[in-house]
Amino acid sequence: MMARTQFNKFSADRRLYLCSLFLTVLSVLPSIGQIDTTVKKPVNLADTDGQDLKDLNDANRKQPEDQKPPVRYLSLFEEEDLLKVSLRFDVAKFLKKAERDQSVDGTMTIHFSETDEMERKVTLKYRGQSRFERCKYPPARITFKKPVYEVSDSGRIKNIKLVNQCQPGSTFGEYVIREYLVYKLYNVLTDTSFRARLISLDLVDSENKRKTITQFGILLEPEALLAERLNLTEVKTKMLSQSHMFPDMIDRLAIFNYMIANWDWSVPGQHNVTVFTSLNYELGGLGIPVPFDFDLTGVVNAEYAIPPPGLGIETNRDRLFSGICRTREVYQNELMAFLGKKDEFYSVITEFPYLGKSDKRDIIAFLDQFFDQLEKQRSMDSLIDLLLANCKGSR
């Protein structure tokens, strides 16, 4: 009996070692020629607030000696006020969506104030799949011809994701604001999350054939900027599963997606999830999943967010748990951690100045459905039963 136990332990340790080695090798290969984001001392990546990573980053940031100081710094993600941005390009050509991989050149102007602005030449390319197909204004990835910089000692930005309104009208503007707030909700849970900046976006036709279109938009923190900020490196491979992730982090993500009613995500294939890892071997080389693109969630409640058949849910406000199986104790601890963040979550919604009272009440009422189940042990036990009945894989 003792020999069998030792053999099982050895097998588990061997599997963990191979998994760690696998992720580490994959993360090293695509990082050749990029900034070295290796962690210089042990940190706890599974810490809910991510404070160790933030403190460590301050000590490790270093600008190359031969790099000339940029003209100015953007502070896109250091501030939270509504930012005015203009994009001048061939709007008709872009909206025609003739070819999936076409690009359009243009000019991006960031208006810091009425008398202070920065103009850069850019290229726009389509990104995403569902919104490209269904939206009049598809989301884009913006590439700067010359890099811009986020802060004084780091933060080189070459590409940035833009989320804009799917269709014209105030309703679709509210969808963008709600999606922005989902990013802010996940920021409450952890620093290992994409930062976002809400913008007022002017789409200016360079051919002077269309009137200027003004709508809400979101600029998302680039993957390289997050990696530099937290001393991580992006894992490019799609051949991953939830078992390759840090347990605390994938559990947190799965419960968060359940809370906001997000069924449109998957670690395999990295669908609406970007995976990072640390090169610090003491951390085991496991993956750190960071979610993005929340337009189909119940919190946003977009009219076009219709779940595909076969998921077992009928509307975008039906919650679906897609996390890996854990013990009751693990689920209990994670749910209690969410309950401890309830007031912070609600403050993100209630204190936000660019969303109407009725929309705020709607989001709070939707989140109440989740948090009401955590207030008493009996209802929490029922929720844990549901998680156990729908989880994936072994415990």
pLDDT at 36: 37
Any idea what the CATH number is for the domain that residue 328 is in?
1.10.1070
Q: Give the CB-side neighbour count of residue 227, counting CA atoms within 13 A.
A: 24
Q: What are phi and psi of 55, to 5 degrees?
A: -65, -40
Using alpha carbons, select from 67, 226, 55 the residue that is nearest to residue 150. 226
Q: What is the pLDDT of residues 1-59, one digit of tens each?
A: 444 444 344 444 444 444 554 555 455 444 333 333 333 333 343 343 444 444 434 44
Q: What is the pLDDT of residues 191-250, one digit of tens each?
A: 999 999 999 999 999 999 999 999 999 999 999 999 999 999 999 998 999 999 999 999
Domain count, the chain: 2
Average pLDDT for the chain: 85
The model's pTM is: 0.83
Residues 217, 164 within the same domain: yes
Strands (E), the chain: 83-89, 103-113, 116-126, 140-151, 154-164, 196-205, 213-220, 233-234, 273-277, 288-291
> Helix, strand, coil proportions of the chain in percent (round to 5)?
40, 20, 40
pLDDT at 282: 75
pLDDT at 67: 57
pLDDT at 393: 81
Distance between CA atoms of residues 89 and 93, nearest Å = 9
Using alpha carbons, select from 307, 354, 338 the residue that is nearest to residue 180. 354
The DSSP code sequence of 321-375 is --PBP--HHHHHHHHHHHHHTHHHHHHHHHT-TTS-HHHHHHHHHHHHHHHGGGS
Residues 289, 348 within the same domain: yes
User: pLDDT grade, residue 100 (50/70/90)?
Assistant: confident
Q: What is the pLDDT of residues 340-374, one digit of tens each?
A: 999 999 999 999 999 999 999 999 999 999 999 99
The verdict on residue 166 lying in a domain is: yes
Residues 246, 114 within the same domain: no
Contact status, residue 256 vs residue 48, Cβ threshold 8 Å: no
Distance between CA atoms of residues 313 and 294, nearest Å = 17
Q: Pick from 155, 190, 225: which residue ends a domain? A: 225
Residues 162, 204 within the same domain: yes
Domain range enclosing 265:
31-40+232-390
Residues 165, 240 within the same domain: no
pLDDT at 19: 53
The verdict on residue 364 lying in a domain is: yes
Residues 245, 382 within the same domain: yes
Distance between CA atoms of residues 62 and 35, nearest Å = 10
